[in-house]
Amino acid sequence: MGEHRRRSAQTTGKLFFLSVVQTEVPPLFVVEFLHRVADTFQDYFGECSETVIKDNVVIVYELLEEMLDNGFPLATESNVLMEMIRPPTILRSVVNTLTGGSNVGEKLPTGQLSIIPWRRAGVKYTNNEAYFDVIEEIDAIVDKSGTTVFAEIQGVVEACVKLSGMPDLTLSFMNPRLLDDVSFHPCVRFKRWEADRVLSFIPPDGNFRLMSYHVSSQNLVAIPVYVKQNISFLETGSCGRLEITIGPKQTMGKTVEALMVTIHMPKSVLSVNLTATQGSYTYDLTTKALIWTIGKLNPQKLPNLRGSLSMQSGVPKPEENPSINLDLKIQQLAISGLKVSRLDMYGEKYKPFKGVKYLTKAGKFQVRT
Amino acid sequence: MQSLKHDFITRSTPSACFCVCFINKTNCAVDYFCFLFSPHRHDDLKEMLDSNKDSLKLEAMKRIVAMIARGKNASDLFPAVVKNVACKNIEVKKLVYVYLVRYAEEQQDLALLSISTFQRGLKDPNQLIRASALRVLSSIRVTIIVPIMMLAIKEAASDMSPYVRKTAAHAIPKLYSLDPEQKDQLIEVIEKLLADKTTLVAGSVVMAFEEVCPERIDLIHKNYRKLCNLLIDVEEWGQVVIINMLTRYARTQFLNPNINDEDEDDDEKEKEKKAEAAAMAKRKPYVMDPDHRLLLRNTKPLLQSRNAAVVMAVAQLYFHLAPKAEVGVIAKALVRLLRSHSEVQFVVLQNVATMTIKRRGMFEPYLKSFYIRSTDPTQIKVLKLEVLTNLANETNISTILREFQTYIKSMDKDFVAATIQAIGRCATNIGEVRDTCLNGLVQLLSNRDELVVAESVVVIKKLLQMQPEKHSDIIKHMAKLTDNIQVPMARASILWLIGEYCEHVPKIAPDVLRKMAKSFTNEEDIVKLQIINLAAKLYLTNSKQTKLLTQYVLNLAKYDQNYDIRDRARFIRQLIVPTEKSGALSKYAKKLFLALKPAPVLESPFKDRDHFQLGSLSHLLNAKAGGYQELPDWPEAAPDPSVRNVEVKESVRAVGTVTYRDTGALWVFRGPQKMEGSEESDSATASDSRSGSEESGSGSESESEEDSESEEEEEEKKSKKKELKKPVQESERCVCVQFAGLSLPVEPAPSPQVTPVNTLLSNSLVTDLEGLSLSDSVLSPAVSTPHVFALKNYELLHRITGEGLTVEYCFSRQPFSPDANMVAVQLQFTNNSSSDTKSLHMEDVKLQSGMRVKEFPEIELLPAGETASAVMGIDFCDSTQAANFQLCTHTKKFFVSIQPPVGELMRTVFLTENEFKKEQGQLMGMNEITEKLTLDARCRNEHAIVQRVTAAANLSRVPCGSDKECRFAGRTVTSSSLVLVTVATREEGAAQLTVNCEKMVIGTMLVKDILLALTQ
């Protein structure tokens, strides 16, 4: 293929997607497209792995054929693609072998012609439902003494919309001022957002990410838990000590769930001998990752992990203590205080079932030690 | 590499943007397809392809495609496959296309067999079939069919369907790569397609333009404004291509908006040039071309795109084109991208690093977003470090250094080395912290990790060069390190330092040389060179002690394996050791070796990256990639802007000029199905009227003046009057121009209570003007009231959400007769739709506990265009909680809510001055709230104060002896608690506001409201 200037590679799990570029093209254009390809495979096959691609090599070919024309992206909305090439299901493959049918849609891809290419035409449901999940992640760096070095909240509104026809939805928030920086699915009308701070859109069918946002940095970020830690490596005797306690800090009266602690130990830590008052821990000898799965945080009885670390002898003690990565979930709470006030639907006559869920998670939550 | 590889090369023409393949990390090679590929198996496949059963054909094609995927040669099946090109089954057909495109170039003659099928397809009544036929036809790389392709492309370019035209645009680069001779004809097609008005075509044709004739910038002129306006509705990939192209275009057509900022470059020459330019600019102040502004304005919302490539494209556009003051907007969006996948992060950080060198201020507020996590990959860490270093200045350096201290302890040693370098750079750039940094680095010299020590030595060396005399003890300390440090670069650095500053360490230097002479043979080359260097310098300064040592070292070097070292030894011997033969140079040896050397400049590797267009592959590689278009410099004088003026358009228009995101509200009203035609006429007239007004300006200069004027006006209007939604911005713009011309006093309505007027179909200036005047008149209260001031109207139901029905309400401030505890709310219904509305009533009232509502009597009929009013009563229980209910017509239900301002929750009460004082005396302490304020300039007389307070709250004036004080009294509607307000004025607009009320919440809220009324 002539001289190749550069490869843009990316991973999803164990798979690398590689694209060969010969001429000037914005790198993010390529990277973004490859991600879109990976996402499409995910949508089609449920996972994006080597076996799946090998098993479905024909569909993969057909998909790429529709997604690229002469190196220029064509149809990248999975809604449109699904209309043209049906995703494989067990039932269909059985039917296909019996009847000689195919997984290419007989219908022509009219979605591609539409001015709203993300929505299939003629959607029909018996139960019309629209669910929105407001998911917020706290990114934070907390230093040794427990002061917050950096914290911010990133959020997304994930939607699952199963509505018949061409519904035109308007989602409004109680406190849109909180949102500092937003990015939208192409279906959202910028003008309405700028003027009225409401999300007005004709949704794609099925699951999609409606919006992602950043909460303005003026607002103080509530840190839901505190970590008391003491990790030390002794100069002599090739061993170390570890003690970690986690307690609730600003939880807004909700329970912290799915609490998990990950510590990447220095290479010289051979094994650990710890006791946890709650949950269980594992130590992976090859990756040196100590994972302590705690579960629900009980404010009356704080979870504690303590014990000793045994080190490789003869190796100087590590000069840095490993940092602690936290994972947690808080149901029914958006930590920024963002609230959806209402969802209105126009354009269709039926009454949809509507629901909003809130969830707070730890994003990149790191405690330095 | 043993890895299993699937290549998915789609349309592998040389001009292809990119192709995709997947490589598996694990190297398992399961050849389960193998059994299919023994030669005699192909007969089997042929048989299947010849059968008349679609399922067999399909099975065969699937196997063949799998073969191609595995990289096996399936070309001998060509005749059997090509026969199936006319197969009815779509999947078979598609797979045949895949095969055909892959092998047509090898089997040119046979490929011709399929051409007639495609030619037939090009005439199919279904647009999708026409498009797909063109797509495959243009992908068959057989030179013989070039004329056929050319014809097909030309025909498709004037096809009815925008989708086919889009495919035609895609076919252009394919044909161009097959036969570059066709360029001129293809440019004609591109020109034609550029004039296309559909969003579907825009992106693809610009892509073709970029590949075939990026130099023909003149083709863009006429389409520039259209492209800017369509941009928001083009699909995301097209947006990237268009934005990048427009960046280049703007660089050739507009003036540098930063021309008057002299402090931009520190470079001397640059400055001179700038001064010249600035002098020129002073004669003629910079006015931004309205088209330049248009581009900046229309790309800005795209910063909100979910597609990182689009965001990056807009960011680079702003970086290269926007006035300095406006570039800041991109920082937030770029910082957002840092949350994305690590590949995206990598690219974005590279660009941010380049930007921070030029425009540091822009990212300063986001400093913390670049803090490094231990889980980041190393290359991301290093880039973040780069950005942090670029952002460092006097004010934030202490924070940054504290962060750096944490990083130094990291386990990732490459990263630690980069951090030490970064500290060195901060130290050179910011004089104040040089000593602190140096001390910190010296401490690192005792670090256990050799790499850290080595890196520190290298950096310290650079820092010491700046002021060596102060730091002889550091040099001594480092001299001691030679015993321990093994890293060659660090050893070399120490030796150089000692040699260079041997006069500061006269005792130690010869000793170091002695040690080095001992180990000379075992050293690395760079260390050897520095030993020779040290020896030479010592010989020159202290020949007594070191003469023999130097001789010894030079002798060792003479027989070294490395010729560089031998050369150096020979050269130095001649230079420093005086012999008869040595020439005049040796007299100057001292000057040669011990000349004062300038301190090194530690600078960012990203310093000169910005001569590449940001966001480009070339920028990422820091090398020019094939097909890279240089970003031109700004022109000295702007080319004629009138080239972008567009003639009044022909009436026939392509189908499907539809905008979606830009026009928001329209949808609700008409629904998507009806959009096509009507919207089209909107945008059409808009562009017409615009170009008309533009042409009215006589010369280019006067025109630009007029435009800039309207620009300002527009900006102003916009900020005040967002409520007036216009479908197309352009028409708004025209109105402004017109206003300026007519010198009408444009005093836009103070916003919230304006009823948006019927601007939806505002096709002409006239309707727009009417609209504006209408909106003004709405201000005057529709209900007659006993008060002197206008009652504030609030919107209950917007005409767009209400599908033509507008409902406004105001608090009439009259007692509500059925129930004295209720607040009277006057509703005004206007039916703007074309049909009658029947049985207007309310339902499903949702209230906070204790609240009550008296519904308004049902309005049986509201004919189209008519207005009706009704009164309802609400008992708010002295709280500002909203009353929610449904407003129902015979067909629709609307959720609405009424929330009262606190001032409407009271009724007037008449008190005498004495009564007022007595009551006030009882409401002291917790019940009294006092606030100091500065009165608005227009509100310094008694009359104005009274008017503003009574407008904000339903209170009555209490007579007062002093003219420095105004007093008001009222009672809350439900609980009849007294509310007393005093405004005491002082010198120069200072005033004090006192509110006494038993209900503290009401009091606090009232203070806020009145404060607002008096200060604005």
Q: What digits encode the pLDDT tens for the residues B657-714? A: 445 554 433 333 333 333 333 333 333 333 333 333 333 333 334 344 444 444 444 4
Name every chain A residue with its beta carbon within 8 A of the beta carbon of B344.
28, 31-32
| CB B441, CB B420: distance < 8 Å | yes
Closest of B849, B850, B829, B851 to residue B840, by C-alpha: B829
* pLDDT above 70 as % of chain B: 79
CATH class for the domain made up of B793-900: mainly beta
Closest CB from B10, B236, B625 relative to A65: B10
Closest CB from B98, B128, B625 relative to A23: B625
Closest residue of chain B to A23, computed from CA coordinates: B626
Token pair 């490589």 in the structure block, residue? B23
Mean pLDDT of B7-12: 42
* pLDDT above 90 as % of chain B: 7
Q: What is the mean pLDDT of chain B?
A: 75
Residue contact A61–B374, C-beta within 8 A: no
Closest residue of chain B to A265, computed from CA coordinates: B411
Q: Which residues are within 8 A (CB) of B577 and not within 5 positions of it... i.e. 6 or more apart?
A: B539, B586
Which is more confidently placed, A71 or B564? B564
pTM confidence score: 0.66
pLDDT tens digits, residue range A301-359? 889 998 888 888 777 777 677 888 999 999 888 888 888 998 888 888 888 898 999 99
Mean pLDDT of B537-552: 86
Between the CA of residue A75 and those of A113, B284, B733, what are the distances in Å? Answer: 10, 49, 35
Cα–Cα dist B261/B250, whole Å = 19
Degrees (nearest 5) of the Cα angle B219, B225, B231?
A: 100
Cα–Cα dist B228/B239, whole Å = 10
Least confident range from A234-238, A357-361, B141-145, B171-175: namely: A234-238
pLDDT tens digits, residue range B742-800? 333 334 434 333 333 333 333 333 333 333 333 333 333 333 333 445 677 888 888 77
A367: β partners = A142, A324
Query: Is 60 exceeded by the pLDDT of residue B715?
Result: no
Residue B959: pLDDT band with limits 50, 70, 90: confident
Query: For position B240, what pLDDT does the model report?
Result: 93
Closest CB from B6, B365, B664 relative to A53: B6
Q: Which residues are within 8 A (CB) of B358 and not within 5 positions of it... i.e. 6 or more apart?
A: B319, B610
Name every chain B residue with its beta carbon within 8 A of the beta carbon of A21.
17-18, 617, 625
Query: For position B748, what pLDDT does the model report?
Result: 40
Residue B384: pLDDT band with limits 50, 70, 90: very high
| CB B893, CB B887: distance < 8 Å | yes
Residue contact B10–A68, C-beta within 8 A: yes
Test mutation, B243, B450, B617, chain A, max A CBs within 10 A: B617
Residue contact A32–B621, C-beta within 8 A: no
**CB atoms closer than 10 angstroms to residue B780:** 8
Test mutation, B163, B239, B298, B661, chain A, max A CBs within 10 A: B661
Which is more confidently placed, B147 or A315? B147
CA distance to partner chain A, nearest, from residue B664 (Å): 6
Token pair 């130099």 in the structure block, residue? B215
**CB atoms closer than 10 angstroms to residue B189:** 24
CA distance to partner chain B, nearest, from residue A140 (Å): 10
Q: Which residues are within 8 A (CB) of B797 and not within 5 positions of it... i.e. 6 or more apart?
A: B805, B806, B807, B887, B894, B896
Which is more confidently placed, A257 or B85? A257
pLDDT tens digits, residue range B220-252? 888 898 999 888 888 889 999 999 999 999 988
Mean pLDDT of A239-246: 87
Q: Which residues are within 8 A (CB) of B62 and not within 5 positions of it... i.e. 6 or more apart?
A: A58, B95
Query: For position B8, what pLDDT does the model report?
Result: 47
Beta strands in B431-562 (DSSP E): none
From the candidate CATH numbers 3.10.20.30, 3.20.20.70, 3.40.50.300, 3.30.310.10, the one assigned to the domain spanning B904-1015:
3.30.310.10
What is the identity of the amino acid at A137?
E
Q: Look at residue B506 and give its three-state secondary structure.
A: coil
Mean pLDDT of B449-455: 78
Query: Is 80 exceeded by the pLDDT of residue B117?
Result: yes
Cα–Cα dist B295/B508, whole Å = 67
Closest of A34, A74, A317, A280 to residue B235, by C-alpha: A74
Query: Is 90 exceeded by the pLDDT of residue A224?
Result: no
Please state the φ and ψ torsions of residue B705, each to the nearest 5 degrees: -65, -50
Token pair 């002469």 in the structure block, residue? A70
Closest of B375, B374, B403 to residue B387, by C-alpha: B403
User: Counting beta carbons within 10 angstroms of the beta carbon of residue B88, is it exposed (0 to 12), middle (13 to 18) or buried (19 or more)?
Assistant: exposed
Closest CB from A76, A141, A191 relative to B664: A191
pLDDT tens digits, residue range B814-862? 777 778 788 888 888 888 887 888 888 888 787 777 788 888 888 888 8
Query: Is 60 exceeded by the pLDDT of residue B722?
Result: no
A181: β partners = A214
Query: Is 80 exceeded by the pLDDT of residue A104?
Result: no
Query: For position A95, what pLDDT does the model report?
Result: 59
Residue contact B26–A50, C-beta within 8 A: yes
Query: For position B349, what pLDDT does the model report?
Result: 92
Question: In the β-sheet with B852-854, what is the strand arrangement from edge to edge?
Answer: B794-797, B805-811, B823-831, B867-875, B852-854
Residue B315: pLDDT band with limits 50, 70, 90: very high
Name every chain B residue with its beta carbon within 8 A of the beta carbon of A346.
668, 801
Cα–Cα dist B274/B284, whole Å = 15
pLDDT tens digits, residue range B390-434? 888 888 888 888 888 888 888 788 888 889 888 888 888 887 888
Residue contact B371–A191, C-beta within 8 A: no
Q: What is the mean pLDDT of chain A?
A: 81
Query: For position B750, what pLDDT does the model report?
Result: 41
How large is the angle between the packed helices B525-541 and B508-519, nearest 10 degrees?
140
End-to-end CA distance of chain B: 74
Query: For position B276, what pLDDT does the model report?
Result: 54
What ranges do the domains of chain B cover?
A: 13-233, 507-597, 793-900, 904-1015
Query: For position B592, what pLDDT does the model report?
Result: 80
Asked if the domains B13-233 and B904-1015 are classified in one and the same CATH topology, the answer is no
**Helix H or strand E encompassing A260:** strand A256-264
How large is the angle between the packed helices B308-321 and A27-45, nearest 10 degrees?
160
Query: For position B634, what pLDDT does the model report?
Result: 84
**Torsional sign, CA A134, A140, A146, A149:** negative
B20: β partners = A19, B8
Mean pLDDT of B443-465: 79
Query: For position A111, what pLDDT does the model report?
Result: 52
Query: For position B786, what pLDDT does the model report?
Result: 39
Mean pLDDT of A261-287: 87
Mean pLDDT of A179-191: 85
pLDDT tens digits, residue range B253-308? 888 888 766 444 444 444 445 455 555 545 556 778 888 899 998 898 888 888 89
Please state the φ and ψ torsions of residue A320, each to the nearest 5 degrees: -115, 145
Name every chain B residue with its beta carbon within 8 A of the beta carbon of A2.
14
Query: Is 80 exceeded by the pLDDT of residue B931?
Result: yes
Residue contact B173–A70, C-beta within 8 A: yes
User: Counting beta carbons within 10 angstroms of the beta carbon of residue B460, is it exposed (0 to 12), middle (13 to 18) or buried (19 or more)?
Assistant: buried
Helix, strand, coil fractions of chain B, as percent rounded to 5: 55, 10, 30
Token pair 């006993």 in the structure block, residue? B786
Which is more confidently placed, B169 or B261? B169
Query: For position B622, what pLDDT does the model report?
Result: 80
Query: Is 90 exceeded by the pLDDT of residue A133?
Result: yes
Query: Is 80 exceeded by the pLDDT of residue B331?
Result: yes
Closest CB from B20, B312, B365 relative to A64: B20
Query: For position A103, what pLDDT does the model report?
Result: 53
Between the CA of residue B919 and those of B468, B978, B981, B999, what are the distances in Å? Answer: 81, 8, 11, 14
Residue A67: pLDDT band with limits 50, 70, 90: confident
- CATH 1.25.10.10 for the B13-233 domain, yes or no: yes
Least confident range from A92-101, A109-118, B203-212: namely: A92-101
Closest residue of chain A to B726, computed from CA coordinates: A191
**The tokens of A262 are what?**
């990950």
Query: For position B208, what pLDDT does the model report?
Result: 92
